[in-house]
Every structure is written in C-alpha cells, then in structure tokens.
Chain A
Amino acid sequence: GAVVSQHPSWVICKSGTSVKIECRSLDFQATTMFWYRQFPKQSLMLMATSNEGSKATYEQGVEKDKFLINHASLTLSTLTVTSAHPEDSSFYICSAPSTGFNQPQHFGDGTRLSIL
C-alpha cells in the first residue's frame, strides 16, 4: 500500500489563486521530505528539501516566496504555490526518504496543477 499520500491529485484554478498541496507520510515519520516538479515530457526537478521544524532548503532558481513549504509535523509537509499563474502549471511530486538503499524514497502519486 501507499506509504506517502499526496493530496489533491488534481487541481484546476484561476490565475492569482494560491494552492496548497499536502504530502503525508503514512505509518512512519519523515523529518525530511522532498518536493519535485515535472514539466511535460521532462524529468523531475528537485525544488526543495523540506525539513521538520526548520526552514526548507531550496534549489537554485526556485523562488522561496513563490513556493512556500511548511513542514509542521513529522508526518506532514505542505507546498503552497502562491498567486499561481499559468506558467506554474505542472506536475508536483513529493517524496519521503526511506531507511534503506533498496527503496531510497517513497513517492507520492503527484499533484497535477492547472492554472487557467
């Protein structure tokens, strides 16, 4: 069964809206979670590393004020796309590290964000 739950799976909203995506680890604690963005027909790009109880670490080129990350508990990280615009439309995937190299990260099923 799924060990990382991501919600919502699909969201469509108007330009200027802020959208929150949740990533939950089920039955295990995750002090670190990762947020990826995937453009159509492209690879996954790591956006940021979410750290429980401290600030997220953003990759170069990712706007911190645009993509707000909150890791409020050991099982929940949220990504808020603030004042979303059509260019923010993408597939966002979160993951939580596992404890073994045979399954390095557990991935959520992804959130498809479409901004009109």
Chain B
Amino acid sequence: GEDVEQSLFLSVREGDSSVINCTYTDSSSTYLYWYKQEPGAGLQLLTYIFSNMDMKQDQRLTVLLNKKDKHLSLRIADTQTGDSAIYFCAEILVSGAGSYQLTFGKGTKLSVIP
C-alpha cells in the first residue's frame, strides 16, 4: 500500500518561518493536500497542489513539490501562535463512482513559542 510520511513534531518561535515536510510513495497521485487540525476539531483544508506544479503560494503558505523525490513541503511565513496545530499531508486516490479517497500522513504537530 501507499504510505505518507511526516516528521511528528516541529517547534518554532513566533515570527519565524515553519517548514513541514512530507514524503509520499504513490507516483500516480495527481493532487496533494495540506490539512490543519486544531485540538479537538475536525480537518481544515489549507491548500493543495497539482502534480504538474512545482510551487504554489497562497498568502503566508508556500507549497513546494518535488515529484521526482516524491517530496512535499509546506512553508508558513511569519508563524503565529494561532498556527499551532497538527498538519497533515494527504494524497488522493480516485475511488468508485468518481469519489476521492485520501491517504493521510501521521501529522506534524507544530508548536509556536511566543
């Protein structure tokens, strides 16, 4: 089966940049996603990138994709205490009836130090 790997913890100081890394194994994945989960809450889609893109920027978020190495990263500029959460990367599999099944990494817990 496919595995999505992430480092489990990251700690940064407020105002610094955070970089969360992810590796995936399914080379056929067409879309890759970053989700944010705050304590006790569900998942919030932060951003996504199509596999034919190398980079996508959305305000403070920058996603880099190295398809050759199957490496995905999420950079958060000017990290704030409100960014403290668990971040999951996910890759997509197309299921039956055209629906999309996601495979998640284990999540990286980002702690922002004031």
Across the interface, which residues of B come within 8 angstroms of A104, CB to CB? 31, 33, 48, 92, 100, 102
Contact with A along B1-39 (1 / 0, CB 8 A): 000000010000000000000000000001101000000
The verdict on A107 contacting B30 (CB below 8 Å), with A43-B107, A101-B100 known, is no
Is B99 on the interface with A (CB-CB < 8 A)?
yes
Residues of A within 8 A of B100 (CB): 97-98, 101, 104-105
Interface residues in B29-79 by Cβ distance below 8 A to A read: 30-31, 33, 40-43, 45, 48, 50
Contact residues on B (Cβ < 8 Å of other chain), bracket: 20 to 34
A76 to B48, CA, bound (A): 28
Mostly helix, strand, loop or mixed at chain A's interface?
A: strand
Check A109–B104 contact: CB distance below 8 A.
Answer: no
With an 8 Å Cβ cutoff, the count of chain A residues facing the other chain is 23
CA distance A49 to B99 in the complex (A): 11
Distance between A52 CB and nearest chain B CB, rounded to angstroms: 10
Closest 5 CB pairs of A and B: A97-B99, A104-B100, A109-B42, A43-B106, A107-B43
